[in-house]
């Protein structure tokens, strides 16, 4: 049973780890850490964590790296890691951790549309599984919208002047800026998910592929950070939560979960990987309500329920589609055997 559902369990684990990313990142950014410097150190941690495993565990899978392939990996890193992460941390500076997690739930729908455009996913509206995938994506998107914009009565309200610093509650202007920036970050991330399935066919060594992307992203972000802010003081990181956040996001999120996602994309496709995104929001919402004293609204609960319904509906459609494909493959193999016998 565990072997049968190992891809599902892997993606649940990924989302649990992802839930900690906006929480710890919000702490680090709120304490004055430069967002671009944060990404640089995060990627550096990932490189140091992944390099030994990539070198020793995948020596037999190493493939020749042509200039064209290196250029492709460089561009994937620029779009999916460097741009996505830097935009994400600019956005989280202007939003709450829960809102940041909520806006990422556009990822399944964006990925689904991009997968259709790049012909990595098919939809048969005459079949129930095809309808389920479409409706699941729409319900998930609706849940994200409800969660982000529909308030209603508060269920847990912690806000008061003594416990909440001004920076913890973003203004309307900052929220709009943060949500637009987050949407751009999510779109870049969706492109990363889509492009992975293309590059993996040319370079099957997953750990080395992720490590190379982290190396390129570290270099790109370092250049970006120097251009934006040339003050040497921004590179000084004190021991404490900011350093812990960088280590967690680099080693666990970038290192471990990226590798799991690349593995899942190869096994199940990009849409399957993106469908699990709503789980991180629910975990973040619960923890953030207590850790950052964020207000929990009835609309948030309703949006979370819609997200879960969209998730399971989409997964049901994807599972049924795979079952149908397996049946068709078996029938084709049997027909070939029958022809050979005759």
156: which strand partners?
296
Can you count the helices (H) and strands (E) in the chain? 14, 2
- Looking at residue 47, what is its pLDDT? 92
Query: For the residues 116-128, what does the mean pLDDT come to?
Result: 75
Contact 221, 36 (CB under 8 A): yes
- Looking at residue 82, what is its pLDDT? 92
CB atoms within 10 A of CB 16: 13
pLDDT tens for each residue of 13-34? 888 888 888 778 878 888 888 8
Contact 113, 186 (CB under 8 A): no
Query: For the residues 275-304, what does the mean pLDDT come to?
Result: 71
3-state secondary structure of 152: coil
Q: pLDDT band at 182, cuts 50/70/90? A: confident
More confident residue, 168 or 133: 133
Element housing 230 (H / E): none
- Looking at residue 217, what is its pLDDT? 93
């Amino acid at each position: 049973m565990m072997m049968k559902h190992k891809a599902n369990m892997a993606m649940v684990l990924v989302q649990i780890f992802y839930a900690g990313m906006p929480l710890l990142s919000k702490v680090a950014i709120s304490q004055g850490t430069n967002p671009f410097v944060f990404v640089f150190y995060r990627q550096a941690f990932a490189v140091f964590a992944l390099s030994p495993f990539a070198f020793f565990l995948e020596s037999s899978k190493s493939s020749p790296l042509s200039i064209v392939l290196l250029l492709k990996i460089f561009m994937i890193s620029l779009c999916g890691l460097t741009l996505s992460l830097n935009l994400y941390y600019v956005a989280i500076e202007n939003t709450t951790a829960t809102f940041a997690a909520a806006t990422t739930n556009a990822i399944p729908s964006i990925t689904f549309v991009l997968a259709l455009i790049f012909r990595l996913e098919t939809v048969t509206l005459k079949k129930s599984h095809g309808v389920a995938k479409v409706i699941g994506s729409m319900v998930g998107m609706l849940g994200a919208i409800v969660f982000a914009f529909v308030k209603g009565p508060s269920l847990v309200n912690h806000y008061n002047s003594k416990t909440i610093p001004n920076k913890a509650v973003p203004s309307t202007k900052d929220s709009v800026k943060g949500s637009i920036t987050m949407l751009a970050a999510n779109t870049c991330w969706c492109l990363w998910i889509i492009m992975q399935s293309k590059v993996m066919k040319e370079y099957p060594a997953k750990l080395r592929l992720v490590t190379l992307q982290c190396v390129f992203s570290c270099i790109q972000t370092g250049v970006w950070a120097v251009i934006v802010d040339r003050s040497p003081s921004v590179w000084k990181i004190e021991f404490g939560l900011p350093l812990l956040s960088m280590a967690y996001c680099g080693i666990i999120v970038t290192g471990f979960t990226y590798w799991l996602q690349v593995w899942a994309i190869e096994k199940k496709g990009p849409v399957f990987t993106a469908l699990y995104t709503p789980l991180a929001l629910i975990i973040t919402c619960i923890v953030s309500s207590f850790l950052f004293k964020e207000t929990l609204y009835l609309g948030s609960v309703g949006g979370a329920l819609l997200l879960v319904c969209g998730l399971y509906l989409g997964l049901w459609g994807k599972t049924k589609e795979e079952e149908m494909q397996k049946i068709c493959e078996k029938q084709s193999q049997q027909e070939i055997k029958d022809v050979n016998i005759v």
